[in-house]
């Protein structure tokens, strides 16, 4: 157990030593004056997009779909409607 703590401590010290960053030397004053920073290119600010107005009362609900399905699907055309749905689902 003691070996594990010693190994973890040594690993921690080694990782701290590996993370030691060395700062890059600062550019000389003549280099800094020779290359002035150009302002970043102006990017157009997008205009605020207005949220579309949705009439919640006009949105169809599950009950409306069920009523339409009961009218459209009969025992005579159930296999044809099923084939149509399978083709619609399989289409890319």
- Dihedral (C-alpha) 30, 31, 36, 41: value to the nearest 10 degrees? 180
In this prediction, residue 52 carries a pLDDT of 77
Task: Tell me 39's DSSP state.
Answer: P
In this prediction, residue 61 carries a pLDDT of 86
In this prediction, residue 28 carries a pLDDT of 58
0.85 exceeded by pTM: no
pLDDT averages per 10-residue partition of the chain, 92 residues: 80 68 59 59 71 83 88 91 93 79
Q: Where are the domains of the chain?
A: 60-92
């Amino acid at each position: 157990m003691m070996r594990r703590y010693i190994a973890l401590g040594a690993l921690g010290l080694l990782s701290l030593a590996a993370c030691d960053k060395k700062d890059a030397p600062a550019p000389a004053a003549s280099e800094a004056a020779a290359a002035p920073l150009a302002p970043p290119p102006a990017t157009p600010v997008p205009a605020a997009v207005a949220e579309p107005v949705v009439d919640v009362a006009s949105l169809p609900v599950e009950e409306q779909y069920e009523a339409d399905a009961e009218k459209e699907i009969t025992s005579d055309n159930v296999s044809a409607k099923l084939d149509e749905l399978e083709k619609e689902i399989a289409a890319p």
